Structure 1
Amino acid sequence: MDSEERPQLRRGDNPLYAVLLLAWMLFSVSLFALVLRGAWEDIRAEFQADAEADIELLRDRLRTNDALLSGFAAFLDVLGAPTQEQMVGYASRLLGEHPHIYMLEVVEKVPARARGDFERALAQRVGPGARIGSFSYQDGRRWQDVPEKAAYFPVSFLWPQTPESLPVHGLDLDSVPHLRDALRRAEVSQGAVSTRPFKLIEGPLAYVVMKRTDMERSALRVPAAEQRYALLVVKADSMVPGRRNARTAHVLRLLGEEGPEDPPLYAMLATQPASALERRLLPKFTLNVEDVSTSQPVRLTVTRQLRFLDIRSEPLLLAIGLAGATLAVLVLYLRRHRTAVARERERLERATHSALHDPLTGLPNRRLFYDRVGQASAHWRRTGEGFALFFVDLDRFKEVNDSHGHDVGDAVLGTVAARMRGSVRETDTVARIAGDEFVVLLPGVMEQAAAEPVAAKLLAAVAQPVELRDGLVLQLTASLGVSVCPEHGSEPEELIRHADAAMYGEKRAGRIGSDGASPGAEVRAAARAPRLRIVRKFVRGQGGAVTPGGRKKVSPGA
């Protein structure tokens, strides 16, 4: 109970430091976010410009496909019944000028009654065995017979003619599922239509754009042919843009009635992919651009993952420098503030200690002792647990000051105070309230009989010889009075007054007691009468003794 309340400045520092650190973190995060946002906006603008350039290139090619198909259909309409040489010449020139077109084809609508005539004409032009048939693109072009039906839609012409493409003559488009739907739409439409993407026999991915012509005469001079279709076969890889950012990914899909169709015409990943950390920390841009102005509606999806290398070094270094500079200023300020706070805390602790403690002995003074007694009294009112109080006065202490000076008296008081404090419990309070007057608070001691052993211990501690400088040894005694709460009162002033009166009664009687009653034998044995005794004194350099008054008696030989 001797330790006073500590100042709370240390606890008060923590919120300030936390607020300043949080403010610096918010500043740094905002600064880096500003830099990242600037990089973000620059890259997004560049990214959007690249994506729009890619879709514009696609638009040109798609419009070109429509224009080429319309020109091919017009060629068939204008000539009516072009010869094989005319067809080959036109197709060769068109493909030479537009290499992204994979193949030109002509499909006839042949009624069932004219099937034989068409097959004979086809065999005469292509070779023996040519006939209307079908094959699956998934089983390696294994030809199958086409069941009888009202009309057939065989390929009557294609260019270029290669060993691989020549057998396609006579293929009935109506028997191929991914071509049948487009054929039905082209039959009732005035414009061009496209098929869904499919894999060619040669391997590459492609799609077909077809358009119905207006002339009813067959290109192979088959009078019974009812309709004719011009076809362009477009390979998917011809749609890949020539230039592309290595950090972007492109996916191009044809749009059907129900949305984007699979497989995509092409799906190109970034050749410089981002790391897992960049994907976790940095944003990703995605842009969908559509073009539905042609017969080949497409959607281009372009994505780009922002990377650390995309951030310009100048603003990033500036942000790092500002964050580091502000952190250095903050650390310097906090160190100075902490030093000032520590200095103020030490000053406050010294002031508080001086206000509540005796400067000579370091024991609690009257003010702090009264506060402790008040707390013990309040505790008794709440719990019924009483306490005892001693009033201790050193006997004939004035003679010490008069004989040996106040420095010796102060040293004696310091030693006696330390011995008294060491002879009681940690929860007890020993205080100095006047020159040679001490008071002791014993919480939990509710009877005088229980206090007497402690009193004897205190008196015995006081009675131990005090060794001082130059071989001076003094032995003191003390007088002690006891009061107990609630037997002798409950207020601090009342209890101290009672113990003081008991102590002076014992001092006058030459013995120790309380309220006129003689304590136990242990207390009487500690000090039977007030006295001051000089046990010994050795003076270095000369022999002799000291009288009780403190004067030195020099021997004859001195």
Structure 2
Amino acid sequence: MDSEERPQLRRGDNPLYAVLLLAWVLFGVSLFALVLRGAWEEVRAEFQAEAEADIELLRDRLRTNDALLSGFGAFLDALGAPTREQIAGYASRVLVEHPHIYMLEVVEKVPARARDDFEQALAAQAGPGARIRSFAYQDGLRWQPVGEKAAYFPISFRWPETPESLPVLGLDFDSVPHLRDALRRAEAGHGAASTRPFALIEGPLAYVVMRRTDTVHSILRVAGAEQRYALLVVKADAMVPGRRNPRTAHVLRMLGETGPQDPPLYAILAARPASALERRLLPQFTLNVEDVSTSQPVRLSVTRQLRFRDIRSEPLLLAIGLALSTLAVLVLYLRRHRAAVARERERLEHATHSALHDPLTGLPNRRLFHDRVGRASACWRRTGEGFALFFVDLDRFKDVNDSYGHDVGDAVLGTVAARMRDSVRETDTVARIAGDEFVVLLPGVSELATAEPLAEKLLRAVGQPVELRDGLVLEITASLGLSVCPEHGSEPEELIRHADAAMYGEKRAGRIRSEDASSAAAERATVRAPRLRVVRKLVRGHNGPVSGGGRKKVARGA
């Protein structure tokens, strides 16, 4: 029973410890979540301000592009038929003041009848062989001739003049799909239109903003020109913000009728990328801003990954301190709780042991012995395995108490109990049920022939001299009665009663005999040992023989 209580208490501790540990973990997670939220709010506000500054700068440049294009068109309209030098001077000033503009160009609408005149004037300016032609972006990036059609839209002027840009003169906008779409939109109205991003013949990525002018005069002085367009070429990298947070990524795309267009004008990754752990554990900020107020509708996407270094040290240290302090309090509480549980367990074990054991000898008492006999009886019913009972009484033990006092009597009882316990098997039970009365349960012993040698061994152990203080040596004898299940019964009380009756019958008769104690002709077997002897012992030996044991015999009753 003692061993059954201890596991139950321990199992009861585990849920409490698990709940307290889980509560601490949740508390710690909540603390760090608050710290992380504070850092998140700070970084989000900073990120929002920086992104808005970037988009505002971008809007300024887009509005500037529209204003420059309008100014370029107004300049062409104002002069009517400006010379090449006049346009070049104007374009030079514009490029100096606005370095993000890559080139200024003029496109003219040339009907088929005026093509030859235009190509002759173009050759005079760009060199022999210059003519109206197309550039195949989808077919090997090469120049190719333009077939016959009603009208052409070649470039008649570009500034600055560089060897790389010289072949651009004569490029037919109407022959290149991504240029033709913007040209048609500009031709249909008086507003500006922009192309999607594309790679210039010189190599860099750019886009073109164009608008139709009101006057019709050929820059090359070609008769028959029907329309003129002013163009700005804007390089993509010129739109990148001058000041940019190295921890943010920027992607700028032109917006078409179906949404953002590819390729992007620029896609800049964070100069200080976050680690894989930061990307997994910490949030990311993303801001998409669109501007459709100009002729160059764009979408700017700005992202920033929150990083561990973004978390300020002061609240983080405070959170760590609180978490550690609460953990220390929790550990202290659990240690005290565990100590209290251990004391309670010890108290319960002691109480349980006291309730089931004799306080003097430490042997099982009557209550525990009856319980174990009941279990042995139940085992016999279930498996057929019998058992034997010994009822042992010390002879003339009252004389020991009367002659030497109860302290000596208690010492004798303790010694005899220890000898009885040592003389039986570990599976056997020795119990004290009264002052000098003991009972022994022997599971698995179901025959008298097996029980008698065990009884003799036990009596010999009890009959050994007991050495006490002051050189006093006592020889104690005992009487023993035995019963066997199922030969003498199967109920615990019946078997104990048979063994008790046999022992007391022989004690009264003073000899070994058999008797018929029941109508079932149950057998009784008892042993009568010699009477109490007192031997005075010297310090270094005995002054008389330590013996005097009488005859020990086991007899069976019919």
Question: Shared fold by TM > 0.5?
Answer: yes
Counterpart position of 1:196 = 196
Distance 1:416 1:541 in 2: 24
How far apart are residue 514 of structure 1 and its match?
A: 8.3
In structure 1, the partner of 2:539 is 540
Residue 21 of structure 1 aligns with which residue? 21
State the shift of 1:236 in Å. Answer: 0.8
How far apart are the structure 2 equivalents of 1:3 and 1:316?
49
Question: How far does residue 364 in structure 1 lie from its aligned partner after superposition?
Answer: 0.9
The aligned counterpart of 1:229 is: 229
Query: Over residues 311-366 of structure 1, what are the superposed CA-to-partner deviations in whole Å (9 max), with x where a residue is unaligned?
Result: 11111111111111111111222222222222222222222211211111111111
1:366 maps to 366
Offset from partner CA, 1:213-247 (integer Å, 9 cap, x none): 34344333323222222211101111111111121
2:12 corresponds to which residue? Answer: 12
1:318 has 2:321 as partner: no
Q: 1:140 to 1:15 in 2, by over 3 A?
A: closer
> Which deviates further from its counterpart, 182-191 or 280-289?
182-191
Q: Given the superposition, is the C-alpha separation of residues 141 and 352 from structure 1 closer, same or farther in structure 2, using an over 3 Å criterion?
A: closer
Contact 2:198-2:207 within 8 A present in 1 as well: yes
Matched, 1:172 2:172: yes
- Secondary structure of the residue that 2:224 maps to in structure 1? coil
1:247 aligned onto 2:247: yes
**Which residue in the other structure is 2:443 paired with?**
443
Kindly state the Cα deviation for residue 88 of structure 1 after the two structures are TM-superposed: 1.5
Which stretches in structure 1 are left out of the alignment for 5+ residues? 550-558
Structure 1 pair 249/5, CA: closer, same or farther in 2 (3 Å)? Answer: closer
Secondary structure at the counterpart of residue 249 of structure 1: strand
Report the Cα offset of residue 140 of structure 1: 9.3
In structure 1, the partner of 2:348 is 348
Q: Residue type matched to 2:319 in 1?
A: A
In the alignment, the residues of structure 1 paired with residue 356 and residue 131 of structure 2 have an alpha-carbon distance, to the nearest angstrom, of 120
Paired residues of 1:76 and 1:213 also in contact (CA < 8 A): yes
Letter in 1 for 2:396: R
Could you say which residue in structure 1 is the equivalent of 2:406? 406
CA offsets 1:241-266 (integer angstroms, 9 cap, x no match): 11111211111112223322222211
CA distance in 2, matches of 1:506, 1:288: 109
CA distance in 2, matches of 1:496, 1:230: 125
Secondary structure of the equivalent of 1:245?
Answer: coil
Shift of 1:139: 8.9
Query: Cα 1:183–1:454, aligned 2, differ >3 Å: closer, same or farther?
Result: farther
2:280 aligned with 1:277: no
After superposition, residues 73-472 of structure 1 pair within 5 angstroms as 73-136=73-136, 142-383=142-383, 385-472=385-472
Aligned equivalent of 1:497: 497
Rate the CA distance shift 1:43–1:513 in 2: closer, same or farther, 3 A: farther
**SS across alignment from 2:22:** helix
**Cα distance, 1:36–1:2 mapped onto 2, change above 3 Å:** closer
Name the amino acid aligned to 1:57: L
Q: Mark the CA change 1:213 to 1:445 in structure 2 (over 3 Å): closer, same or farther.
A: farther
Instruction: Write the mapping of 1:47-86 to structure 2, written as runs, cut at 5 A.
Output: 47-86=47-86
How far 1:282 sits from its partner (Å)? Answer: 1.5
Residue 392 of structure 1 contacts residue 437 of structure 1 at CA under 8 Å; is this kept in 2?
yes
CA distance, structure 1, for counterparts of residue 162 and residue 279 of structure 2: 48
The CA deviation at 1:287 is 1.8
Distance in 1 (CA, whole Å) between partners of 2:466 and 2:4 is 29
In 2 relative to 1, CA 543–37 (structure 1 residues): closer, same or farther, beyond 3 Å? closer
The structure-2 alpha-carbon separation of the partners of 1:528 and 1:434, relative to structure 1 and needing over 3 Å to count, comes to: closer
TM-aligned CA distance change 1:512 to 1:233, over 3 Å: farther
Equivalent pair of 2:165/2:202 in contact (CA under 8 Å): no
Distance between the aligned counterparts of 1:544 and 1:286, measured in 2?
107
Please identify, of 341-350 and 243-252, the stretch whose mean Cα deviation from structure 2 is larger: 341-350
Match of 2:512 in 1: 511
Seen in structure 2, the aligned counterparts of structure 1 residues 547 and 24 have a Cα distance that, compared at 3 Å, is closer
> What CA deviation, in whole Å up to 9, does each residue of 1:135-163 have, x standing for no partner?
34689975432222332221101111122
Residue type of the alignment partner of 1:495: L
Aligned residue identity for 2:115: R
1:431 deviates by 1.0
The one-letter code sitting in structure 2 at the alignment partner of 1:478 is: A
Structure 1 residues 161 and 141, CA, compared in 2 at 3 Å: closer, same or farther?
farther
Higher alpha-carbon deviation: 384-393 or 467-476? 467-476
Q: Where does the alignment leave 5 or more consecutive residues of structure 2 unmatched?
A: 549-558
Q: Give the SS at the match of 2:157.
A: strand
Amino acid at match of 1:53: A
Whether the aligned pair in 2 keeps the contact of 1:7 and 1:349 (CA below 8 Å) is no
In 2, are the aligned partners of 1:480 and 1:513 still within 8 Å (CA)? no
Give the distance between the partners of 1:496 and 1:445, measured in 2 at CA: 15
Contact 1:137 1:200 in 2 (8 A): no
Distance 1:547 1:374 in 2: 41
2:104 is aligned with what amino acid?
Answer: L
Q: Is the 8 A contact 2:488 2:523 kept in 1?
A: no
Structure 1 pair 141–389 and aligned structure 2 pair: CA distance change class (3 A): closer
SS in 1 for 2:537: coil
Letter matched to residue 302 of structure 1: V
Give distance in 2, aligned partners of 1:314 and 1:513.
Answer: 95
Q: How many residues in Structure 1 have an aligned counterpart in Structure 2?
A: 544
* Cα pair 1:104 1:160 within 8 Å, conserved: yes
Flag the 1:507–1:528 CA change in 2: closer, same or farther, 3 A: closer
1:556 alignment counterpart: none
Shift of 1:491: 4.1
SS for the counterpart of 1:336 is helix
Deviation, structure 1 residue 464: 3.5
Instruction: Answer yes or no: is the 8 Å Cα contact 1:537–1:546 preserved in 2.
Output: no
Q: 1:51-106, CA deviations, whole angstroms, 9 ceiling, x for partnerless residues?
A: 12111111111122122222222333343322222212221222222111110111
- CA separation of 1:258 and 1:448: change in aligned 2, threshold 3 A: farther
> In the aligned structure 2, how far is the partner of 1:489 from the partner of 1:247?
93
| Sequence identity (%) | 82
Asked whether the 8 Å contact 2:186–2:193 carries over to 1, the reply is yes
Q: Is the 8 A contact 1:4 1:353 kept in 2?
A: no
Instruction: Give the SS at the match of 1:147.
Output: coil
Larger mean CA deviation between 267-276 and 360-369 belongs to: 267-276
Offset at 1:469?
A: 4.4
Task: Tell me the distance in 2 between the aligned counterparts of 1:514 and 1:340.
Answer: 58
Give distance in 2, aligned partners of 1:141 and 1:385. 103
Q: Secondary structure at the match of 1:452?
A: helix
Contact 2:475-2:547 at 8 Å conserved across structures: no
1:200 deviates by 2.3
